[in-house]
């Protein structure tokens, strides 16, 4: 049982859905993002996705591209992101941290070195967008070996034939991407998502969390109810981008969390 498994078991026992947020590590700078991260659990966040900045985020829309750029400009690196997770862990031992990003910074550090540091920092899961099941030997299998969940995205293009392959080495939860596209673009559509989530739930016992295009408390509630939880990213990052104080960002997060949990 990892911290992620525990969290979903606890939520399930309480009859609640998971509320997951994405923020970019180091946006707008290290101290600001650490302050926001530390406030997330009290605002009702069940799982924290910590974005790893990368120069070429091909799965992301403008909002997250610019967040990554701000973080890099402020000097964020993979090492600092791991340090941030470790600092967070000093006073929160239960909220799962999932690092989300692209493979190259990890590959550049070296997979073994990265995994050792990630375990030491209290990181629980990884979502690495450009590592499909076909490349499992790179990071997914080594991560599973050290007890870190490798969380996979399933998408509308993941057909029935392919789904078992996507699920095979996945653990923690499945992240269902609500649409074909990049983060922060259109709004997710219930009609399109509901049957897909039902289809995935028939194939696996893992929790299914829905993300991409969820922007409002109403949408957070709707999509949380379709599966086992919901992810909000760009809508929060936009508030950080426009200069909202951490307390205001967290107040917004709380409205989303309350809706998702209701």
**CA separation for the pair 29, 37 (Å, rounded):** 12
The gap between the terminal CA atoms of the chain, to the nearest Å, is 27
Q: Tell me the site size for another protein, rule CB under 8 A.
A: 43
Would you count residue 171 as binding another protein (CB under 8 A)? no
Shortest distance (Å) from residue 9 CB to another protein: 26
> Which residues are CB-neighbours of 135 under 8 A, at least 6 positions away?
none
Query: Does the active-site annotation cover 49?
Result: yes
Q: Could you say which of 10, 12, 55, 262 contacts another protein (CB under 8 A)?
A: 55
User: How far out from the chain centre does Cα 36 lie?
Assistant: 15
Show the tokens assigned to 62.
């403008």
Closer residue to another protein in complex, CB, 62/255: 62
User: Which of 67, 140, 128, 69 lies closest to 103, judged by CA?
Assistant: 128
Would you count residue 28 as binding another protein (CB under 8 A)? no
> Which among 27, 46, 49, 196 is annotated as catalytic?
49
* Residue ranges in 65-84 that form contacts with another protein under rule CB under 8 A: 65, 72, 77-79
Contacting range for another protein; rule: CB under 8 A; set: 37-45, 105-113, 201-209, 222-230:
105-113
Shortest distance (Å) from residue 240 CB to another protein: 19
Contacting range for another protein; rule: CB under 8 A; set: 5-13, 52-60, 229-237, 250-258:
52-60
240 φ, ψ to 5°?
Answer: -65, -40
> Which residues are CB-neighbours of 107 under 8 A, at least 6 positions away?
138
């Amino acid at each position: 049982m990892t911290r992620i498994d525990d969290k979903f078991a606890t939520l399930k026992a309480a009859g609640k859905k998971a509320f997951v947020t994405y923020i970019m590590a180091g946006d707008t700078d290290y101290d600001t993002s650490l302050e926001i991260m530390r406030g997330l659990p009290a605002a009702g966040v069940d799982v924290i996705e910590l974005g790893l900045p990368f120069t070429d985020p091909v799965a992301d829309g403008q909002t997250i591209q610019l967040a990554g750029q701000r973080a890099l400009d402020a000097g964020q690196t993979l090492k600092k992101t791991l340090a941030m997770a470790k600092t967070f862990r000093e006073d929160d031992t239960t909220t799962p941290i999932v690092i989300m990003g692209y493979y190259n910074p990890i590959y550049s550090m070296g997979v073994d070195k990265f995994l050792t540091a990630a375990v030491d920092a209290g990181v629980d899961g990884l979502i690495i967008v450009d590592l499909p099941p076909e490349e499992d030997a790179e990071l997914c299998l080594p991560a599973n070996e050290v007890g870190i969940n490798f969380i996979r995205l399933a998408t509308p293009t993941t057909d029935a034939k392919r789904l078992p392959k996507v699920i095979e080495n996945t653990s923690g939860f499945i992240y269902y991407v609500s649409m074909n596209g990049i983060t922060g673009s259109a709004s997710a559509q219930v009609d399109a998502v509901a049957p897909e989530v039902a289809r995935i739930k028939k194939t696996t016992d893992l929790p299914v969390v829905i993300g991409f295009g969820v922007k409002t408390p109403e949408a957070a509630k709707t999509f949380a109810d379709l599966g086992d939880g919901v992810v909000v990213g760009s809508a929060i990052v936009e508030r950080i981008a426009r200069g909202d104080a951490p307390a205001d960002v967290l107040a917004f997060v709380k409205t989303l969390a309350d809706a998702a949990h209701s």
